[in-house]
Structure 1
Amino acid sequence: MGPTSDNNDVHRPGALKQQNKRFKSGRHRSQHEIKRSTKGRVAEKKHARSLKRLNVTNKQDRLNTAIQIRKQKLQANREIRQTIGAIDGVPQIITVIPLSSDVNIYSIIELLTNSIDDKKSFDEATQCGARIYTCSKLRSKFCFLTPTVTNLENVLDAAKMSDTIIYVLSSSNGISIEGDYLLDLINVHCLSGNVIYSIIESNDDSMSTISSSTSRNSSLKNLEKYLEKKFSNVKLIPLNNPQDGQRLLSKLTQQKLIKITKTFSRPYLFAQTFSYLNPKSSKSTLKLSGYLRGIDLSPNDLVYIPNLGTFQLEKIEQHQFQRDSDGIIKTIVDKTFIPDPKLQRSLVFEAEQDPMNFDQEQTWPTKEDIQQSERQLKKRVPKGTSQYQAAWILSDDEDNDSLNQQNDFDEDHQEMMTDYADDLQSIKLDKEEDEEEEEEEEMDELVMNPNNYDEKTDLEEDKQTLKKLKEAKLDEQFPDEVDTPMDVPARVRFQKYRGLKSFRTTKWDPKENLPSDYGRIYQFPNFRAMIKQIQSEQEHNQHKQDHAQVHSYVTLYVKDVPVSRFEPGHHLFVTGLLPYEQCLSVLNIVLNRTNDSEIILKSKERLIFHVGFRRFASSPIYSQHSNGVKHKFERFFRPRQTLVATCFGPITYPPASVLAFKQFPDGRQELVATGSLLSVNPDRIILKRIVLSGHPLKIHKRSAVIRYMFFNPDDVNWFKPIELRTRWGRRGHIKESLGTHGHMKCQFDGILKSQDTVFMNLYKRIYPKWTYEPLSIQQQQQENNEENMQ
């Protein structure tokens, strides 16, 4: 029988009993009552309000909106085509670049300009090597630029400012090594909107047989496949006869011009004519004439001329074209814009340092403070010691940082220096023997002298390269490890370093102990907000009466330009600067090493940067491209790496592509990295890490005695609060010092292995050096003269 139940027992549900949600019906109303209360009204307002809240429109409204947007885009494109490239508007800038060694650019330009048999067509050659061609049959105007391929900077400037780039290839030779290199540079740095690939055939190919024609077709397919690997939608257009030239001109007329953000965010101008008002003086006013592009230009703005610098405007003349009774078109000054002295931007690019301003946090001593402290330095010396003898006595408190750094590498490179000494002695002996036998040898034997090779090589450069390779290999095997000096206390040697509980979460004040150079730069409270403010100001300043209108023919009078002799056919471009772009700050650039470059770049090594439309030289420091506030310093920039380079430079607003070149002593430049501008932020914290290592002497469960990390008990007590780690993932801390030789008792979170190694991480913030160097034509000419003298 089952268990008996008492009638008084009541079932009580537990805590997990399901509770269903009640149906919220509200007060029940019949359909007749609902109709009587609404009185025939339809609830459209409630439905419309819900649609508005959800941003939902009906299908017909969406279709109408799409049609209106499409019409607006077509109208905007039609207006651009009626302005740029039109017969009465701004000529379309077309840069013709050869990718093969046997291509004659001037014959290509002659073929294009003579392809259409139109008697009313005419062309003119400007002062700076460009050719403006007006075709009345196509109702179009073109400006062909033919920069010299050997002048890399001029080629990049022309490609950045052009509307269309035409690459010319040869079917017989294909793409040369120089052409392939130039193609990659333009694709990375310039990002031109319209690109056309043309191919020409030599005269010998026209007399070929059918078998050779099939091989030529296969070579053309191979060229297309090679270009399609790098770029998409590549189609080779033949350019061998006037009919092909006519088709190419028609394509240039009918194509859609793509806007590039980099060029359309600033005013820029290609100088069709330029001259100095006083060419005999060292500085004179430079007169430039051309069509204004991009946006409107104010006379109060600053302009930048490549290889010359940043300058102010004296005035701007806006012209109009009128036809005389003889049918000759002349330019007449329509408006003149004169800058306002109160609103004109200054050329000052450094901030004034105020020693009484404590907001700048300039806490590092100046040169005068250091000299004064050296004068007031007191030492304990024996009685009767003269001042000269006291200068040779070192006190315990002096920092022998430089001496220790030199001693660290003496043992590593002692064998290398002895080998070089033997090589130098052998070279000297060979030269002495050559001088003795010089009179007896004939001219033919002098040419075949093998010692000429040694005379051309630079032994010091080889020494520095070998030293850098050994340091990079050592840093790669033992990253950031430093030997503790035995003759100097570690608390003195590493007094500028500190320990961090966590590299990611521990706070580090970005305004703490800034160098004196940081008082010379400019900084934005919010860089992104500043960019948005400038963009809104540009939209507000469009079509103002005191601005030179875009797409108009203007003449710029640039003040105090150094008088320089330009090469024949040199193209001159002018770019307007946005607010604060003449000021200096700290640039953070993301760089990717190129696949072909195997050079090991050391931090603080001089590089030449092409940032946007500007060029300058600087010595950057490298750090990891990571998230967070603090970033680890990298001593070397190795191949196939991505790092952030930090250096002093002029403020530039992104987007801006970057090229980095390494310049060798002979003047040759090699591309080592490409990238883009990350930010303009002096508060980027870059921490240099050093690792002190020790080895276990005795191990008892989770405690161990560590040696070789320090060599006196005072250092052990000084670095006692810093956390320890091991190679195999153990973590611990210092408990106490043992003896007088630097042994210390440590406690870890696990049992330590005898073959494990104990590390201590120390960090110090580092800053870029003030090595900003603007590049100019005078400097390049001076360097070339020095090379010729050598």
Structure 2
Amino acid sequence: MGGSRSQVNKAHKSRFSSKASRQVHKTSRIDKSRISKPERNVTKGARAARIQRSKMVRDQKRAALLKEKRASSASTSPPRVIVLFGLSASVNLDALEKDLLTLLSPEGTKATSATVASPDYKLRAMVLKAPHGDLLTCMEMAKVADLIAFVATASSLCEEDMSVFHVDSFGSQCLSVFRSIGLPSTALLIRDLPLEPRRKQELKKMCLSSLASEFPEDCKFYPADTKDELHKFLWLFKEQRLTVPHWRNQRPFLMAQEVGLVNDDSNPGKCTLILSGYLRARSLSINQLVHLSGTGDFQLCKIDLLKDPFPLNAKKGPELMDSDELHDLQAIRSLVPDPLKQEPLLVENIPDPLAGEQTWPTEAEMAEADRIHKQKEQKKKILPRGTSDYQAAWIVDDTDEEVSGSEAEEDDGMVLDEEENGFSGPEGSNYSDLDEDHAVSLNLRNSDDETEADTAMTEGENLTREQIEDEIRKIKDAHAEDEEYPDEVDTPFDVPARKRFAKYRGMKSFRTSSWDPKESLPPEYARIFAFDNFARTRKHVLSKALDMDQGAKEDCVPVGSYIRIFIKEVQVDVASKLSILAKTSPVLACGLFQHESKMSVMHFSIRKHDSYSAPIKAKETLTFHVGFRQFIARPIFSSDNMNSDKHKMERFLHAGRFSIASVYAPISFPPLPLIVLKCEQGEGSPTAVAAVGSLKSIDPDRIILKKIILTGYPQRVSKLKATVRYMFHNPEDVRWFKPVEVWTKCGRRGRVKEPVGTHGALKCTFDGVVQQHDTVCMSLYKRVYPKWPEQRFPVLDR
């Protein structure tokens, strides 16, 4: 009864195949202890190496965290900076500052200094209040803050919606700027809450729901009316692990608590500026250069290591010190620079006027020239007279029509070395990108209507200049709806196009055509510096700074020290302004890395600020805040093409997207944030935030091209050929721009064949049928550069 149709029952499913196998998965206690030991379980090989490396990384992170915690709680660390920022003008920061200082130091509230050492909290702190409406001062305070305490008041509830806390326009603007700079640790203090517990809790929840989206996720909300509430805030702040932006920990900086100056009799108009304060972030070398915020880069002539004026474990108890007592502190140790090791204050390169002079060639150069000459002789393509290999890259190989030597000598096309016009621009007909079928059709298909077009062009020969301008205006108005081509320019009547557009050239392909980055550089490029390998130089400079910070060197002062630095050769009027400014705003001095005083071409990734609606034109004077540094620049804007080494210039900074701003500026090593300020026209006008971004790269060889489009309009059309007018106004210009490709707005591409008549009309051949209403265009390009700023650093007029 068997066979293929016999019944097959499902096998019995059991966890164990037999009773004996039930105990296999169980292990004895001895075996368990043997398995739990990692040295017996881990075998040699890649897995063991991975486990060992993971353990090493964990230990390093644990040690670094423990070291940071010990350093932050030690008495040698600098005082923590608390910046009080009111979200609206109705917030009373004076009362809050007084309450905090009273709580930290009940016996020293009579002093004027905002720094206090509190043994009760085991905390040293500096309390600063940001002036509402002063954008520059708020920015400088945010750069040095260890904690930004945003203050909201319950009396600022919106009248329309009582459940929303009000943040005015200045508060919103500063919030966005702080985010761009990099927010440190944050907290939100709520003032003027009612005494009733239920109503107080409701308002706190309203504040949390309406303002939570404006701040980071780890931002804590504290009521700050009573002494107990402020005590809780300070105790949690003391235990909190503070976070600061990464760029701020890379450079040593000092926020001056005392500013003075000493006149230099040997150098009239200059003086020595004296700044006293705590050194933060990194160790500072006496041989380093320093940047004085808003003023410039300087050398140090002396550093005094002073006794800490605010010791945490003082015997006589907490107190605040007056400015006279700070000034009279005695120096424990003094450092003077070593002339052999001190970084030179080199800003611009000294151009050599004889650098381009011809010298007698060496034997190696002559052998190289012979080799190149033999390679040229082997080339089949015959080029116009005076054309180099670089220029020949834009000359099309015409395999169908061989050009003889005599024809090349009589060629009237674009020859780069033509002395008559000084033209260094367009070469190369760009129709080589056409398909092979189209190229064949351009050469083989002829029309019998060419003579008719020639005679028809004589109709426009007798028009006056005014009549031609009126006709061009009418055609322009008919095409006014087409806004896809903002680069269109009109060819002038009084200046030949070959002279007006002498610096422009045509390209076969914007993406693949070659452009020598060292060709025809402006005179400003002789004054700047460039890196052979920027990434390698940056790595070397940062590692050198890290070694200086970790090693105990005699020419360095450690972090947390109270020091007095002497900055030499500062202008007297600038030093006087700084001494007055120090009473209301922090005066910052930051150490510079090697090469950071030298000028180069810097590129920033930038976008227009949401609150700024006015147009920002290229080469407009703007103030750049890059980290701790400030300088004036005149940038040009360009697109960021990832798949090409050439980038198109943008005439304006467009809203809603990122662009690249290129400027002449002192070298800085990324990452660094960028805030662009623009002073509105008119006396007393406020400074507005125009754009934000970050430093991207330093590269003088970045090619930025300005594009223009010359337009013409078909007068006679015969299948693939057309007679175009109003692109040029004389036949010499047509012959000059003959090698450049032409295209139409409807998608046709072609080449210029010959001029027609005496008024600049031209014959063109295309790869398809041309419509009568179409527009013929010619694209030309030239390389552009940023403008050298007349003034490098902003005037201190705050």
TM-score by length of 1: 0.72
Q: Counterpart of 1:546?
A: 555
CA apart distance, 1:257: 2.1
- Evaluate the alpha carbon distance shift between residue 219 and residue 260 of structure 1 in structure 2; reply closer, same or farther with a 3 A threshold: closer
Q: Counterpart of 1:157?
A: 140
Distance 1:772 1:488 in 2: 31
CA apart distance, 1:712: 2.5
Does residue 313 (structure 1) correspond to residue 300 (structure 2)? The answer is yes
CA apart distance, 1:109: 1.9
Question: Superposed, which structure 2 residues align to 1:34-73 within 5 Å?
Answer: 52=45, 55-57=46-48, 61=52, 64-65=55-56, 67-73=58-64
What amino acid is the match of 1:291? Answer: Y
Q: Counterpart of 1:631?
A: 647
Distance 2:755 2:736 in 1: 11
Q: Counterpart of 2:72?
A: 81
Q: Secondary structure, in 3 states, of the residue corresponding to 1:180?
A: helix
Does residue 681 (structure 1) correspond to residue 699 (structure 2)? The answer is yes
Measured against aligned partners, the alpha-carbon deviations of 1:298-324 in whole angstroms (never above 9, x if no partner) come to 111111122332221111122345999
Q: Secondary structure, in 3 states, of the residue corresponding to 1:761?
A: strand
Q: Counterpart of 1:569?
A: 584
Distance 1:187 1:643 in 2: 19
Q: Secondary structure, in 3 states, of the residue corresponding to 1:541?
A: helix
Q: Counterpart of 2:90?
A: 102
- Evaluate the alpha carbon distance shift between residue 103 and residue 521 of structure 1 in structure 2; reply closer, same or farther with a 3 A threshold: same
- Evaluate the alpha carbon distance shift between residue 187 and residue 559 of structure 1 in structure 2; reply closer, same or farther with a 3 A threshold: same
- Evaluate the alpha carbon distance shift between residue 474 and residue 484 of structure 1 in structure 2; reply closer, same or farther with a 3 A threshold: farther
Q: Counterpart of 1:489?
A: 496
Does residue 351 (structure 1) correspond to residue 316 (structure 2)? The answer is no
Correspondent of 2:679 among 663, 669, 674? 663
TM-score by length of 2: 0.71
Does residue 764 (structure 1) correspond to residue 747 (structure 2)? The answer is no
- Evaluate the alpha carbon distance shift between residue 111 and residue 313 of structure 1 in structure 2; reply closer, same or farther with a 3 A threshold: same
Q: Counterpart of 2:33?
A: none
CA apart distance, 1:699: 2.7
What amino acid is the match of 1:192? Answer: L
Does residue 93 (structure 1) correspond to residue 111 (structure 2)? The answer is no
Q: Counterpart of 1:507?
A: 514
Measured against aligned partners, the alpha-carbon deviations of 1:678-718 in whole angstroms (never above 9, x if no partner) come to 21222111111110112223333322222222233222221
Distance 1:643 1:67 in 2: 40
Q: Secondary structure, in 3 states, of the residue corresponding to 2:47?
A: coil
Does residue 498 (structure 1) correspond to residue 505 (structure 2)? The answer is yes
Measured against aligned partners, the alpha-carbon deviations of 1:198-243 in whole angstroms (never above 9, x if no partner) come to 11116xx44x797x6687356424433xx41564344421101001
Q: Counterpart of 1:740?
A: 758
Distance 2:49 2:757 in 1: 86
Q: Counterpart of 2:743?
A: 725
Q: Secondary structure, in 3 states, of the residue corresponding to 2:285?
A: coil
Q: Secondary structure, in 3 states, of the residue corresponding to 2:778?
A: strand
Q: Counterpart of 1:262?
A: 247
Distance 1:124 1:503 in 2: 70
Q: Counterpart of 1:42?
A: none
Question: Superposed, which structure 2 residues align to 1:423-502 within 5 Å?
Answer: 478-502=485-509
- Evaluate the alpha carbon distance shift between residue 327 and residue 134 of structure 1 in structure 2; reply closer, same or farther with a 3 A threshold: closer
CA apart distance, 1:123: 6.4
Q: Counterpart of 2:537?
A: 530
Distance 1:271 1:746 in 2: 71
Distance 2:711 2:498 in 1: 15
Distance 2:143 2:154 in 1: 27
CA apart distance, 1:777: 4.8
Q: Secondary structure, in 3 states, of the residue corresponding to 2:103?
A: coil
Question: Superposed, which structure 2 residues align to 1:18-37 within 5 Å?
Answer: none
Contact persistence 1:123–1:132 (CA under 8 A): no
The percent of aligned pairs where both chains have the same amino acid is 33
CA apart distance, 1:775: 3.6
- Evaluate the alpha carbon distance shift between residue 304 and residue 63 of structure 1 in structure 2; reply closer, same or farther with a 3 A threshold: closer
Contact persistence 2:133–2:170 (CA under 8 A): no
Distance 2:356 2:293 in 1: 38
Distance 1:303 1:486 in 2: 55
Distance 1:49 1:199 in 2: 56
Q: Secondary structure, in 3 states, of the residue corresponding to 2:502?
A: coil
- Evaluate the alpha carbon distance shift between residue 749 and residue 528 of structure 1 in structure 2; reply closer, same or farther with a 3 A threshold: same
- Evaluate the alpha carbon distance shift between residue 775 and residue 72 of structure 1 in structure 2; reply closer, same or farther with a 3 A threshold: same
- Evaluate the alpha carbon distance shift between residue 578 and residue 59 of structure 1 in structure 2; reply closer, same or farther with a 3 A threshold: closer
- Evaluate the alpha carbon distance shift between residue 397 and residue 553 of structure 1 in structure 2; reply closer, same or farther with a 3 A threshold: closer
Q: Secondary structure, in 3 states, of the residue corresponding to 1:158?
A: helix
- Evaluate the alpha carbon distance shift between residue 326 and residue 747 of structure 1 in structure 2; reply closer, same or farther with a 3 A threshold: closer
CA apart distance, 1:474: 10
CA apart distance, 1:595: 2.1
Alignment size in residue pairs? 615
Measured against aligned partners, the alpha-carbon deviations of 1:715-768 in whole angstroms (never above 9, x if no partner) come to 222111111111122211122333333332222222222222111101111111
Correspondent of 2:232 among 239, 247, 262? 247
- Evaluate the alpha carbon distance shift between residue 632 and residue 359 of structure 1 in structure 2; reply closer, same or farther with a 3 A threshold: farther
- Evaluate the alpha carbon distance shift between residue 547 and residue 768 of structure 1 in structure 2; reply closer, same or farther with a 3 A threshold: same
Of 622-631 and 279-288, the range deviating more from structure 2: 279-288
Measured against aligned partners, the alpha-carbon deviations of 1:20-48 in whole angstroms (never above 9, x if no partner) come to xxxxxxxxxxxxxxxxxxxxxxxxxxx99
Distance 2:707 2:188 in 1: 50
Contact persistence 1:147–1:571 (CA under 8 A): no
User: What RMSD in Å do the two structures reach over aligned CA positions?
Assistant: 3.5
- Evaluate the alpha carbon distance shift between residue 479 and residue 359 of structure 1 in structure 2; reply closer, same or farther with a 3 A threshold: farther
Distance 2:314 2:219 in 1: 49
Measured against aligned partners, the alpha-carbon deviations of 1:532-572 in whole angstroms (never above 9, x if no partner) come to 11011112223222211222222111112233141433322
Give 5+ residue unaligned stretches, structure 2: 1-39, 157-165, 320-327, 359-419, 424-464
Distance 1:123 1:133 in 2: 10
Q: Counterpart of 1:114?
A: 102
What amino acid is the match of 2:600? Answer: S
Distance 2:229 2:354 in 1: 72
Question: Superposed, which structure 2 residues align to 1:2-401 within 5 Å?
Answer: 52=45, 55-57=46-48, 61=52, 64-65=55-56, 67-83=58-74, 86=75, 89-115=77-103, 125=111, 130-173=113-156, 174-189=166-181, 191-201=182-192, 205-206=194-195, 216-217=203-204, 219-224=206-211, 227-229=212-214, 231-278=216-263, 282-320=269-307, 333-358=331-356
Distance 2:270 2:525 in 1: 31
- Evaluate the alpha carbon distance shift between residue 236 and residue 350 of structure 1 in structure 2; reply closer, same or farther with a 3 A threshold: same
Q: Counterpart of 1:773?
A: 791
- Evaluate the alpha carbon distance shift between residue 123 and residue 758 of structure 1 in structure 2; reply closer, same or farther with a 3 A threshold: same
- Evaluate the alpha carbon distance shift between residue 681 and residue 297 of structure 1 in structure 2; reply closer, same or farther with a 3 A threshold: same
CA apart distance, 1:327: 5.2
Correspondent of 2:568 among 548, 559, 574? 559
Does residue 516 (structure 1) correspond to residue 523 (structure 2)? The answer is yes
What amino acid is the match of 1:574? Answer: A
Q: Which has the higher contact order (CA 8 A, sep 6+)?
A: 2
Contact persistence 2:623–2:794 (CA under 8 A): no
What amino acid is the match of 1:694? Answer: G
CA apart distance, 1:525: 1.7
Contact persistence 1:122–1:135 (CA under 8 A): no
Of 733-742 and 666-675, the range deviating more from structure 2: 733-742
Q: Secondary structure, in 3 states, of the residue corresponding to 2:576?
A: coil
Contact persistence 1:263–1:294 (CA under 8 A): yes
Distance 1:652 1:61 in 2: 38
CA apart distance, 1:100: 2.1
Contact persistence 2:488–2:709 (CA under 8 A): yes
Distance 1:577 1:198 in 2: 36
Distance 2:732 2:57 in 1: 77
CA apart distance, 1:63: 7.0
